[in-house]
Amino acid sequence: MSAIGQERTASANTWGATYFAAQCHNHSVPYLVVSLMKAAPFCSILISCLLITGVAHAAPSIVTRLQAISGDRQILVNTQTPPKPFVVRGFDVAGNPVNGAPIFIGTGADTGYPHLFDEFIFRGFNTGGLVEYDYPPPPQLVAVTDASGVASLQPPLVDFPTSSSIVGAGQVNVTYPGNSGPWFAFFAAVMVKATPPGNPAVVIEYFYPALQHYFITLDDAEIAALNAGQFAGWTRSTGSFIAYRTKADAPPDAVPVCRFFSSQFTSHFYTANAQECDDVIARYPDVWTLETREAFFISVPDATGNCAPGFQPVYRMFNNTESPNHRYITDRSLRTHMAGRGWIAEGYGVDAVMMCTPA
């Protein structure tokens, strides 16, 4: 099996089936390779090669590209059920829609399922621990593609307010070379305890592995381009939080966020402090270029670092290296972990809070 692809490990004491079109022995006709796998070391067993003599029982084509159609960046208010379905479309290697493919859609965490972790092995902000699903997954986490390749589902999520996490989607019973890639789709889900004021939107995070740089954006066109792979090197990451597109969308106390870019470091910098924005323009004109004074709108803490009731801190973490980059997070535990790895928290008060987002 190693010549076909990397084996996927199922949850402990459970079984899964993987189907591949292959050649058995010296026959010139395709066979169906059926592999049963148990989550124990070195316990992947090839059961048999079965001659395919017709199409009545043929498995659906393998999805090699799964496109997220809608449902990304959802806000869940005091519930584990998303308000809208997560919708994907599956394509085969020839670019044709795949009909009849079972697609897992659910909180991404188990290493046997589509998932994302950041470089610190966190799967979001303020989430629970590792999620382990049985295999095969429960029916409420599976949708089947139609003739146009589309599958849609509103699965129950496993985390609780206040948190933000990743929902993953991928074909069931197929071994892929890795737990992320074009064969999977990912969505951000932000859970809050109360309805946010104004007209909220969700900021999401991307990561550049070669540089270990983070980037956040609220811009719909920019997100679409990133998700389509138009910016080489940038991949979807785990972080997300609530902010506002315009002043009219935001609560009265929200302020604009300046966004800078450095071509020297391939890095972005954000500040909700107007004086800091002006200082960067004045002191580093050859390093940081102001892209906009209104990347998004967000609330800020008082001078002691306290957010208003109903809001939680956003921490700005500086990597403190010769290739400067910042990460914007809402997870206090992750903040502590990153500080232990040399990152520096920047902000107001003893706890160094930079912004405030609905909780």
pLDDT of residue 130: 84
pLDDT of residue 90: 98
In a domain, 16, yes or no: no
Looking at 169, 192, 215, the residue that finishes a domain is 192
Tokens of 145: 């593609």
Regarding whether 352 and 236 lie in a shared domain, the answer is: yes
Domain CATH code at residue 130: 2.60.40.10
Regarding whether 215 and 183 lie in a shared domain, the answer is: no
pLDDT of residue 58: 53
Regarding whether 145 and 110 lie in a shared domain, the answer is: yes
pLDDT tens column, 85-124: 999 999 999 999 999 999 999 998 777 789 899 999 999 9
Looking at 192, 227, 250, the residue that finishes a domain is 192
In a domain, 240, yes or no: yes
Regarding whether 309 and 338 lie in a shared domain, the answer is: yes
pLDDT tens column, 260-290: 999 999 999 999 999 999 999 999 999 999 9
pLDDT of residue 302: 97
In a domain, 167, yes or no: yes
Regarding whether 76 and 115 lie in a shared domain, the answer is: yes
pLDDT tens column, 225-262: 999 999 999 999 999 999 999 999 999 999 999 999 99
Looking at 192, 210, 237, the residue that finishes a domain is 192
Regarding whether 327 and 309 lie in a shared domain, the answer is: yes
The pLDDT profile of the chain, 359 residues, written as one tens digit per residue, is: 222 222 222 332 222 222 222 222 222 222 222 222 222 222 222 222 222 222 333 567 899 999 999 999 999 999 999 999 999 999 999 999 999 999 999 998 777 789 899 999 999 999 998 888 888 899 999 999 999 999 999 999 999 999 999 999 999 988 888 767 899 999 999 999 999 999 999 999 999 999 999 999 999 999 999 999 999 999 999 999 999 999 999 999 999 999 999 999 999 999 999 999 999 999 999 999 999 999 999 999 999 999 999 999 999 999 999 999 999 999 999 999 999 999 999 999 999 999 999 99
Regarding whether 260 and 237 lie in a shared domain, the answer is: yes
Give 336: exposed, middle or buried? Use CB within 10 Å, 0-12, 13-18, 19+: exposed
- Residue 67: Cβ within 10 Å count: 17
Regarding whether 225 and 342 lie in a shared domain, the answer is: yes
Domain residues for the domain of 261 are: 201-358
In a domain, 334, yes or no: yes
Distance CA 243, CA 217 (A): 10
Regarding whether 225 and 338 lie in a shared domain, the answer is: yes
DSSP letter at 140? G
Please give the sequence-ordered ranges of beta strands (E in DSSP) within 92-212, or none if there are none: 102-107, 124-125, 142-144, 150-153, 163-171, 185-192, 201-208
Count up the domains in the chain and report the number.
2
pLDDT of residue 348: 97
In a domain, 33, yes or no: no
Tokens of 69: 């159609």
**Cβ within 8 Å of residue 260, ≥6 positions away:** 268, 269, 270, 280, 288, 289, 290, 291
Regarding whether 230 and 117 lie in a shared domain, the answer is: no
Tokens of 338: 């990153």
pLDDT of residue 59: 65
In a domain, 181, yes or no: yes
Regarding whether 352 and 208 lie in a shared domain, the answer is: yes
What's the residue count for the chain? 359
Regarding whether 134 and 170 lie in a shared domain, the answer is: yes
Give 252: exposed, middle or buried? Use CB within 10 Å, 0-12, 13-18, 19+: exposed
- Got the DSSP string for 141-168? GEEE--TTSEEEE-PPPS--SSEEEEEE
In a domain, 219, yes or no: yes
In a domain, 4, yes or no: no
